[in-house]
Homo-oligomer: A and B are copies of this chain.
Amino acid sequence: MAAESQTPQVDQVQRSPVNFDAKLSLISEQWSPRVVAEMNDYQFKIVRIEGDFVWHRHDDTDEAFLVLDGTLRIDMRDRSVLVRAGELFVVSKGVEHKPFAQEEVKLLLIEPRGVLNTGNTESERTAPNDVWI
């Protein structure tokens, strides 16, 4: 298992399949996405979240949430959806949203490289990008 690193190690990391449970076991910090794989200019990121995020939007891209464990609520201005383990939800670009997790949720995020987790909103939740695990 590769040690956590600030440096993308695509060739090395992507030689082997990514096991989500194994990768998640390496992180305990919440709200800190970690890149586990890349596909073209897209990244797969795992993250643990609990509690309330900030309202934000991504003006240039859709964002995919695939729930690995727990139940995620995604609030939008006109409605909310519950996304459970084994479910996928895509937030369309430009749509304001706010993820919320009553209990810890383990997520796989899929989005273009370089997308900031808080989108247009600077916040204490804003996490560094391109941190691989």
Contact = CB atoms under 8 A, between A and B. Distances in A.
Nearest to A40: B62
Given A39-B110, A40-B112, A110-B110, A20 B86 contact: yes
Interface string A8-41: 0000001011111100000000000000111110
Contact of A21 (B14, B86, B89): B86
Please classify the interface of chain A as helix (H, G, I), strand (E, B), loop, or mixed, using the class held by over half of its residues.
Answer: strand
Contact of A42 (B14, B42, B83, B88): B42
A78 to B, nearest CB: 11
B81 A36 contact: no
Interface string A76-89: 00000111101111
A64 interface: yes
B112 A37 contact: no
Interface of A: 14, 16-21, 36-40, 42, 44, 61-64, 68, 81-84, 86-90, 92-93, 110-112
